[in-house]
Amino acid sequence: MKQPALALCLKICTVAIALVAAVVLYHILPAGVDACLAEVPASYAWLRTPSKVIILLSSLPCAVALVAFFLICREIGRDNSFCRKNVRRLILIAACAIAGVLFCTAEFLLLFSAGALHPGIALLCIAISLFGVTIAAAAAILSHLVEKACVLREEQDLTI
């Protein structure tokens, strides 16, 4: 696959992931909060607002990471994969993934401390955290490799 076609495919995947993430973060998870809180005593109703705020705040790092990845795809299409901008963008994606893990941990601790942690939510938080740490590690490793490639490319440009 040629670079412009690869970049287009990656951009389409990024938009699709953004749409799915929007549905999950703005519809499915808030409805899940309502469903879980319906199963616990009414004294836990106060958890609805902080839980929904944490879910909405967690959409910010997701959006930033997707925009950064979209911009990386654009550089790939321009045959400029190994540039300093992409190194910074990959570091930003890693930071966003860690922020997502922290939001998920905050939700887990909020529900756990209130005694309203549903086992399904606990498993979901663990899965999201593992996924976030994996994305952060992969992005950090890729940023290191892209930086090394940038250095090699710059050295090669100087010798010509």
Q: Which two tokens stand for residue 131?
A: 């996924």
Any idea where the domains of the chain sit in the sequence?
Answer: 3-159
Three-state DSSP state, 78? coil
Question: b/e per residue, 26-36, with b = 16+ CB within 10 A?
Answer: eeebbebbeeb
pLDDT value of residue 68: 97
Query: Looking at residue 156, what is its pLDDT?
Result: 86
pTM here is 0.90
**In the chain, which stretches have pLDDT less than 70?**
160
Beta-carbon contacts of residue 119 (< 8 Å; ≥ 6 apart): none
* Residue 90, Cβ density class (10 Å: 0-12 exposed, 13-18 middle, ≥19 buried): buried
Q: What is the pLDDT of residue 59?
A: 95
